[in-house]
Structure 1
Amino acid sequence: MSEEVKEDPNVILVALYTIGLGWYCVLWAIGFLGCWAARKRYRLRPRSPLSSAAAPSVPGVSILRPLKGLDTNLYENLESTFTQEYPNYEILLSVADEDDQALSVVRELMSKYPNVDAKIVIGEEVVGINPKVNNLIRSYRQAVNDILWVIDSNVTAHPGTLARAVDALQSRTRSGKQIALVHHVPFAYSTESKIGSRIDEAFLNTNHAKMYLAINTVAIESCVVGKSNLYRRSNLERVNGSLKPIRSTDPNAKQEGLCGLPAFGRFLAEDNMIASAFWHELGYRHDLSCDVARNVVGNVSFMDYVWRRARWIRVRKHMVFTATVLEPFTESIVLSIIGALNLKFFLGLSPWIPVPLHFIVLLIVDLDVYASLAGHPLPESLRWEFIGGWFAREFLALPIFLFAFFGNEVIWRGKRYRVLRNGEADQVQPGKGRTVFSWFQRYRRRKNYELLDTEIQNN
């Protein structure tokens, strides 16, 4: 009996190291899968037959672009929808305020392309806390076509994107399931040499894209980013974000109560929730076309990047808690340590060999993903700034995660929100929210410190 007790710790230790080695191998397999998917899907982008078809023979599409202010590269971003090689579409450009600066750009483009069916929609309808949804409601209701292409104002699309997306929307999965949504992996393009811009660019074009493609290739769960999404309004009108399957066999059956886009105004990540609703409530699936959503990254400071990542993590924490908890163990720093410890345990290999090798191979894989998405290798002029941003992203991932995980408030478009259960949110009124940094700042004030008027409003 005593011998068995003595052997137990060794058995447990071997089991733990075996699990760790298995995890390490699985994560590398996922990374290679994402790299392979990028090569297979994006290295060749054939022209769709719909591009040159007659207008009556193709389904009509309503392009919805929510606007607010002068985003970086706004003219070129919006112009890319005016120049789509597709014979039957309309564009609805929506702003919440009639004095919005984006309107001058819109009117200039409408004058330049008089033959394009484009309309300006002014005014929002508040259906929830999500400002993007509130902005889109009137365009959503005025759209004449069932197929909607919702595309953010900071995205530029290739002229053949719409035609290829409609092709994908009309297809089915290998198992015969209907495609309800077509999305595009974001590909960041930085116009500034700011540290936050370069880190964001490196993250989106390598690690994020690689994992995004791998998850969507395996397709065991919904995973969608809403930079550029194509779906049918008739499907959206059947779901409400409850994620409860519709049990009726009626092909037109819908959820009870409020459905459609207004039902998703209560979520901050409405794009992900819409995709999840199609997946779980209707039993449909998603697809990626061979195009990217060219996401123009402007002047992003270091703290802008940190808060953006924190927002994503805090929203995901309330939507997919288990996956979010496991996220640190997928990042390169922690993963390289797991790999090194396991190789030392099983092979007696010094950590000074596997850790550098881990990062060298990881960088090679990520640069290959970049080349697939971009259609060309990393330009020499950007090489060192990009690689510097890549290393910064990898080493900052864990600290940012820890900062973000232990909090529930996010800042979006200058407003503060508290993320609630299932990704819903409430707007935090000035003075109601408190963070570690705000308390630390108050603690450091001198006793005779006199508050400014703006600080009185926020305290």
Structure 2
Amino acid sequence: MLDAILLFPAVLAGLSFAYVGICIAALLRFRARIRNVKESEFRPPITILKPICGMETNLEANLRSFCRQDYEDFQIVFGVHDNQDAAIPTIRRLIEEHPELDLSLVVDDRIIGSNYKVSNLANMFDNARHDIIVIADSDMRVCRDYLKTVALPFADPEVGAATCVYSGRATGRLSSRLGAMFVNDWFLPSALIPGVFGRLTYCFGATMAIRRSNLIKFGAFDALANVLADDFMLGRLVHEQGNRVALVPYIVENVIEDPSLKALFLHELRWARTIRSVEPLGYAASAVTELIPIAALGSAGLFLSTGSVLYAAGLFAAAAVLRLALHYTISSTVPGRGTASPLLVP
């Protein structure tokens, strides 16, 4: 009985090995999709909704990246709740810089539910002119081919929504590097698994693109007004309508600016609570994603049950090699993010 208990961590380590192997395969497959994206004449008019609250770090550069799209017909609606919001001068400066673009600002303090971001989106939606609606968080940054790539899945009439995964770019301090590494080494590969190997049934806040008809059909933003994980639920509602949620072959960039380790901890705690609220079983199963700690426990259990240092060391060494392989697969998929540091992998 005792031997079985001691060997259980080694069995759990085997599940972690399988998980990391699947993540590497998903990354390689998704990277191939990104590299094989072909030019298309399908470019429907698009409205981008940008909900904003306060003056975030790098806000101007983030918003400007959405203005500089290689796309013929698009509209951007910026939205804030408060006419004293610190971001308003930045938004107005961008609008003045780009008179050739269809840019506008909505200031409206109407609240329709507990989710203030969704209230902001509902206030902005009245100004949306086009049938493809793209919602993108204000802390995201994109390249000029973003809209061209996001539009591609909608050439298929079965697609009701599309979404993008995102990577983290660190700004320098340790807390930011750890935050970006969490996004890159934990979120990104785990997020790709259902989209690459299965059927995606939810969206990510980095980009939620949806047909106006699908949005109206489930009640528009009123249906999300009291939902914490609005991105998750938007995709789920489209899936329940019988339409597909497509994973766009594009990785949006999130510039991470965590001022301290405490701020990073609180940020990740909120994120974990959100995941637990929408996917409790998946949250519990996420224990297998922690390969290094599980391998350490497995090695200890293996040594105590067999007395073999060779077996124990071999298990941990294999885990370390596989974890580094995942880390560098990620770093080559999203290069230049400032997180390619094996010392931070554990």
TM-score, normalization: structure 2? 0.89
Letter in 2 for 1:98: N
Provide the C-alpha distance between the structure 1 equivalents of 2:129 and 2:106, rounded to a whole number of angstroms.
14
Change beyond 3 A, Cα 1:99–1:40: same
Provide the C-alpha distance between the structure 2 equivalents of 1:356 and 1:10, rounded to a whole number of angstroms.
25
Deviates more, 1:324-333 or 1:130-139: 324-333
TM-superposed deviation, 1:12? 7.1
Task: Indicate the residue corresponding to 1:264 in structure 2.
Answer: 224
Change beyond 3 A, Cα 1:198–1:19: closer
Q: Is the 8 A contact 1:155 1:295 kept in 2?
A: yes
TM-superposed deviation, 1:341? 6.4
Task: Indicate the residue corresponding to 1:289 in structure 2.
Answer: 248
TM-superposed deviation, 1:347? 11
Q: Is the 8 A contact 1:206 1:367 kept in 2?
A: no
- The DSSP-based 3-state class of the residue aligned with 2:267 is helix
Task: Indicate the residue corresponding to 1:195 in structure 2.
Answer: 174
**Is 1:226 the counterpart of 2:187 in the alignment?**
no
**Is 1:369 the counterpart of 2:330 in the alignment?**
yes
**Is 1:36 the counterpart of 2:28 in the alignment?**
yes
Once the two structures are superposed, what CA deviation does each residue of 1:285-315 show, in whole Å capped at 9, x if it has no partner?
Answer: 2222222111111243211111121112212
In the alignment of these two chains, the number of paired residues is 344
Change beyond 3 A, Cα 1:293–1:261: same
Once the two structures are superposed, what CA deviation does each residue of 1:91-140 show, in whole Å capped at 9, x if it has no partner?
Answer: 10111111212111111111111110111111132111111111111111
Q: Is the 8 A contact 1:328 1:334 kept in 2?
A: no
Change beyond 3 A, Cα 1:15–1:371: closer
Q: 1:167 aligns with which of 143, 152, 160?
A: 152
Q: Is the 8 A contact 1:64 1:150 kept in 2?
A: yes
Q: 2:266 aligns with which of 300, 303, 307?
A: 307
Change beyond 3 A, Cα 1:230–1:266: same
Letter in 2 for 1:362: R
Q: Is the 8 A contact 1:37 1:214 kept in 2?
A: no
- The DSSP-based 3-state class of the residue aligned with 2:70 is coil
Provide the C-alpha distance between the structure 2 equivalents of 1:221 and 1:229, rounded to a whole number of angstroms.
13
Letter in 2 for 1:264: L
Provide the C-alpha distance between the structure 1 equivalents of 2:112 and 2:102, rounded to a whole number of angstroms.
27
Query: 5 Å matches for 1:119-198?
Result: 119-171=104-156, 178-191=158-171, 193-198=172-177
Query: 5 Å matches for 1:39-438?
Result: 39-42=31-34, 44=35, 46=37, 48-50=39-41, 58-171=43-156, 178-191=158-171, 193-220=172-199, 222-239=201-218, 259-279=219-239, 281-337=240-296, 340=299, 349-374=310-335, 383=340, 386-388=341-343, 390-391=344-345, 394=346
Provide the C-alpha distance between the structure 2 equivalents of 1:41 and 1:343, rounded to a whole number of angstroms.
40
- The DSSP-based 3-state class of the residue aligned with 1:59 is coil
Q: Is the 8 A contact 2:140 2:254 kept in 1?
A: yes
Provide the C-alpha distance between the structure 1 equivalents of 2:251 and 2:329, rounded to a whole number of angstroms.
16
Q: Is the 8 A contact 1:32 1:365 kept in 2?
A: yes
Structure 2 unaligned segments of length 5 or more: list them: none
Change beyond 3 A, Cα 1:91–1:351: same
Letter in 2 for 1:275: G
Structure 1 unaligned segments of length 5 or more: list them: 1-8, 51-56, 173-177, 240-258, 395-459
Change beyond 3 A, Cα 1:356–1:17: closer
Provide the C-alpha distance between the structure 1 equivalents of 2:160 and 2:327, rounded to a whole number of angstroms.
30
Q: Whose relative contact order is higher, 1 or 2, with alpha carbons under 8 Å and at least 6 apart? A: 2
Letter in 2 for 1:106: I
Q: Is the 8 A contact 1:210 1:366 kept in 2?
A: no
Provide the C-alpha distance between the structure 2 equivalents of 1:328 and 1:167, rounded to a whole number of angstroms.
35
Letter in 2 for 1:271: D
Q: Is the 8 A contact 2:163 2:207 kept in 1?
A: yes
Change beyond 3 A, Cα 1:137–1:362: same
Provide the C-alpha distance between the structure 1 equivalents of 2:317 and 2:21, rounded to a whole number of angstroms.
19
Once the two structures are superposed, what CA deviation does each residue of 1:57-89 show, in whole Å capped at 9, x if it has no partner?
Answer: 842111100112221111111111211111111
Change beyond 3 A, Cα 1:347–1:11: closer
Q: Is the 8 A contact 1:124 1:137 kept in 2?
A: no
Q: Is the 8 A contact 1:35 1:366 kept in 2?
A: no
Q: Is the 8 A contact 1:21 1:339 kept in 2?
A: yes
TM-score, normalization: structure 1? 0.68
Task: Indicate the residue corresponding to 1:401 in structure 2.
Answer: none
Change beyond 3 A, Cα 1:303–1:14: closer
Residue identity over aligned pairs, in percent, reads 22
Provide the C-alpha distance between the structure 2 equivalents of 1:45 and 1:121, rounded to a whole number of angstroms.
38
Provide the C-alpha distance between the structure 2 equivalents of 1:151 and 1:316, rounded to a whole number of angstroms.
19
- The DSSP-based 3-state class of the residue aligned with 1:318 is helix
TM-superposed deviation, 1:223? 4.6
Change beyond 3 A, Cα 1:45–1:190: farther
Provide the C-alpha distance between the structure 2 equivalents of 1:346 and 1:278, rounded to a whole number of angstroms.
52
